[in-house]
Chains A and B, each alone.
Chain A
Amino acid sequence: MISKELLKSYANKLMFDMNDDEYETLAKEFDVILKQMDLIGEIEEIKGVKPMTFPFELDDVEYRNDEDTRTVSYLDALSNAKDIKGREVKVPKVVD
């Protein structure tokens, strides 16, 4: 079974944590998931195949010019932030 320490390191890299019970559940779930993942590796045909990252080729992609097209007002941008000062989001002090 995958270790709790390893799972915790994956969680912490994504900037969150879980409690001990949750890690235990997750370890059990990983047991099944890793067996499912093994099914991916068992397919002989995958050798030399280019991984697909999009459903199909788009034949009409037009690159736009590097110009402002849409902008957001600072009032809108700050409308959901919990702590603001003037035109900025207020956060804990970074430099002492």
Chain B
Amino acid sequence: MSYLDLSISEMKKAIDEGKVTPTSLAKESFERAHKYQKDINSFVTLTEKNALNQLENLDSVEDNPLKGIPYALKDNFSTKGILSTASSNILKDYVPFFNATSVNKLYSKGAILIGKTVLDELAMGGTGTTGHTGPVKNPWDKSRLIGGSSAGSASSVAAGIVPFSIGSDTGDSIRKPAAYGGIVGYKPTYGLVSRFGLFAFASSLDHVGCFTRNVSDVAYVIDAIKGKDEKDMTSLPDDNIKFSEHLDGNVKGKKLFYLKEIVNRDNYKDSMDEELDEILNNFDEIIDKCKNLGMEVEEVDFDKEILKAIFPTYITISCAEATSNNSNLTGIPFGPRSKGKSIDEVMFNSRTEGFSELIKRRFVLGSYILQKENQEKLFLNAGRIRRIIVEKMTELFKEYDGMILPASGSIAPTFRSETIDKLSDRYLLLENHMAIGNFGGFPSITIPCGFVKNMPIGLSITSGVKKDLDVLNIAYALESTMNYKNQIAGGVNDER
């Protein structure tokens, strides 16, 4: 057992008691990062020189729970003077001249940046396999992916390289990889954390959040990075409530619900297998645990056809927004510039050579959606479905304190997995429901809740806008009834 395996608060206590130093923690973190890099590929860049500089100046930082704690950062956050690639060839040499607001806040808290993590190119993907430096592997089983897009941020925490990391979540890009990696993934209420300096994917769905190995640590991280930011007009006013001071696990009397259509076995008769059966059994056990904690749990009906439209709605909105957001990637102000006889030709060639095939496919889809003849049928109708879903969920959250659902209907797929039928109920309902949290900006967490075939599975908990503390408290209470707190993947740390 190393001090680096501890929770943030335990690690801080060990620092305060002189049992370990921030320098030795960072050193061990870098050692693990180097050691596991070949196996799991968490990082695009390791920031040793920068960390050394931070450690030299740590005395000037006011004491706080993150002082001296190592962390990793998704490579789609701007870091001044540090390569920030978004895992894309079109930004492979881009070095920002400013920090994202959340990065500045973490610097001011003295959290030590260990490295920038691999993502699906430009955060557009859910597999962690499309980054320009190669696929990220799951530390629990290297033949499996860890999911994305915040793949390296998830794998670096799951593997025990860092106790926390920062990611972004547009559809479920923090919460799904957290579930596949046996760790906690949190996406707060939209606007709670500034998006300034996060490379925009789909601005109306993008959230900044974090990965940790327990729920208390989420509270410490979000406390450090939340707050109004004049550089992000959509950031929410700070209520100055510290989540970490209000986690008491007192959930007696809280009312939860789950959506019947998502967990109804009848919907999956054709695709039922041992894996899904065990996941749904696990969910039944979770309901019992909730009740044992004194919470009520009710089944709620939701129009299945609307739920099946979540994924196409998400794809429509996100691809359309991404098409516009990424129009600045031209090779002219930054990024590799291709040859051409005119400005148009330079841009055309730079984009053709800089984007991978997958990204181009997403952009073509975005272009199709935004064609005049398709705007009403696709783009505006997707916005209408988004409103129907969000308004129904908002009504439910007036009556209930939270919604619980399995984070996924499967364990982390292998790299060779046959692609699931993308028109099946199993795919459309079970694999994509977490985008509801992005449609409405609802706070949403996944916590580890069991193992199936020796791979971790996760539980999703979501609540109404600005009810972050409810989500965290329900998660905190449930976490205490299970044995998955602070777990580190066995696949990479056999020697420990």
Contact = CB atoms under 8 A, between A and B. Distances in A.
Interface of A: 7, 10-11, 13-18, 22, 25-26, 29-30, 32-33, 35-37, 39-43, 45-46, 49-56, 58, 60-61, 69-70, 72, 76-77, 79-83, 89, 91-92, 94
Given A40-B378, A80-B95, A89-B333, A14 B309 contact: no
A55 B439 contact: yes
Nearest to B319: A33
A37 B316 contact: yes
A37 B382 CA distance: 9
Contact of B388 (A39, A43, A60): A43
Contacts of B384: 46, 49-52
A37 B364 contact: no
Contacts of A46: 381, 384-385, 388
B163 interface: no
Given A43-B306, A56-B190, A94-B342, A76 B385 contact: no
Residue among A13, A14, A32, A55 with the highest chain B CB neighbour number at 10 A = A55
B334 A58 contact: no
Contact of A81 (B204, B333, B355, B422): B333
Contacts of B309: 39-40, 42-43
Contacts of B390: 52, 55-56
Contact of A40 (B313, B330, B357, B440): B313
Interface string B367-383: 11001000001111111
Contacts of B368: 10, 30
Contact of A41 (B94, B204, B377): B377
Given A11-B364, A41-B381, A80-B333, A50 B387 contact: yes
Interface in B289-322: 303, 305-306, 308-309, 311-313, 315-316
Contacts of A55: 190, 204-205, 390, 438-441, 465
A52 B387 contact: yes
A53 B336 CA distance: 33
Contact of A45 (B306, B313, B465): B306
A51 B204 contact: no
Contacts of B345: 92
Contact of A92 (B315, B341, B423): B341
Contacts of B233: 61
Nearest to B81: A79
Interface string B326-358: 010011111111001111111110011001010
B153 interface: no
B234 A22 contact: no
Interface of B: 93-95, 97-98, 190-191, 204-205, 230-231, 233-234, 237, 303, 305-306, 308-309, 311-313, 315-316, 323, 327, 330-337, 340-348, 351-352, 355, 357, 360-361, 363-368, 371, 377-388, 390, 394, 422-423, 428, 438-441, 465
Contacts of A69: 230
Contact of A16 (B190, B313, B315, B363): B363
A54 to B, nearest CB: 5
Residue among B384, B394, B441 with the highest chain A CB neighbour number at 10 A = B384
A40 B363 contact: no
A32 B441 contact: no
Nearest to A38: B312
B382 A11 contact: no
A52 B332 contact: no
Given A36-B311, A40-B313, A13 B367 contact: yes
Nearest to A79: B97
A53 B422 CA distance: 26
B337 A51 contact: no
A52 B343 CA distance: 36
A18 B441 contact: no
B388 A53 contact: no
A35 B85 CA distance: 34
Contacts of A45: 303, 306, 388
B382 A15 contact: no
A80 B334 contact: yes
Given A26-B360, A50-B384, A52-B384, 16 more contacts: A14-B327, A14-B366, A15-B344, A36-B311, A37-B316, A40-B309, A41-B381, A51-B380, A52-B387, A54-B204, A54-B234, A56-B394, A56-B440, A91-B343, A91-B346, A92-B341
B97 A81 contact: no
A29 B361 contact: yes
Contacts of B333: 77, 80-81, 89
Nearest to A18: B360
A39 B342 contact: no
A58 B347 contact: no
A30 B368 CA distance: 10
B383 A53 contact: yes
A60 B237 contact: yes
Contact of B364 (A26, A43, A79, A81): A26
A29 B422 CA distance: 10
Nearest to A12: B348
Contacts of B330: 15
Contacts of B355: 16
A62 to B, nearest CB: 9
A52 B94 contact: no
Nearest to A21: B357
B337 A83 contact: yes
